[in-house]
Amino acid sequence: MDIPIANYAAGIEVANDLVSTSPTVRGAEALPDVEALAVLLAGHDLRRPQDEDVFPVQLLRREVRGIIETETEEQAVAGAGVLIGRAGRAPVLRRDPDDRWMWCVPTAPDASLADELAAFIAVGLFGVVRTLGHDRFRACAAPGCRGVFVDASRAGRRRYCMPELCGNRLNVANHRARRRAVTP
Ligand SMILES: [Zn+2]
């Protein structure tokens, strides 16, 4: 596959979704089988997953989480460098649909899905460190949530690993706290 470097946000989207499937975050394995993996990868230009891809992707998930949790940008860049080395090859120029040249990272033809995914995510991590900064690597702000994520949004104000779920969790906690505060 060719990973367009300019489209690094796509790699971040997958990285965030992947890290959010872990038992650490969900309390149970949310990436148990190939069907769940297919859902995770839907809409991205990756190959169709097989049963044997599930475990290597679960292992990759731990590595990606470790990189998001790095304390320095040097550590993050080094970690992403290891990931891209699993399948990524020297950058090339390809023509986009509008006939303009764009930087791409091709992956090795014999790379596994997990290796391709590692390179895809690594391009995303590099893109964020370079363009937005390492402070976009964050822990979820919801009380009790152990999620981590990378904020690739323009505004950079994202606070939750799973905005729908963890934002609501916080609202519920605040609501309960307010009720406790007014109860005599
Ligand atoms: Zn969360």
| The three-state (H, E, C) secondary structure of 125-161, written as one string | HHHHHHHCCHHHEEECCCCCCCCEEECCCCCCCCCCC
Ligand 1 centroid, distance to 168 Cα (angstroms)? 10
Ligand 1 centroid, distance to 144 Cα (angstroms)? 8
C-beta atoms surrounding 84 within 10 Å: 22
Q: How many domains does the chain have?
A: 1
Note whether residue 111 is domain-resident: yes
Inform me whether the pLDDT recorded for 146 exceeds 60: yes
Note whether residue 93 is domain-resident: yes
Ligand 1 centroid, distance to 16 Cα (angstroms)? 11
Task: Supply the range of the domain harboring residue 131.
Answer: 2-137
Note whether residue 98 is domain-resident: yes
Ligand 1 centroid, distance to 147 Cα (angstroms)? 5
How large is the average pLDDT for residues 138-161? 96
Within its chain, how far is the Cα of 23 from the centroid? 16
Ligand 1 centroid, distance to 143 Cα (angstroms)? 8
Residue 16, pLDDT score: 98
Ligand 1 centroid, distance to 142 Cα (angstroms)? 6
Could you give the percent of the chain with pLDDT greater than 70?
91
Inform me whether the pLDDT recorded for 184 exceeds 60: no
pLDDT digits (tens, 9 = 90+) for 10-29: 999 999 999 999 999 999 99
Ligand 1 centroid, distance to 114 Cα (angstroms)? 24
Note whether residue 49 is domain-resident: yes
Note whether residue 181 is domain-resident: no
At residue 169 the predicted structure's pLDDT band, cuts being 50, 70 and 90, is: low
pTM above 0.75, yes or no: yes
CATH of the domain at 77: 1.10.3300.10
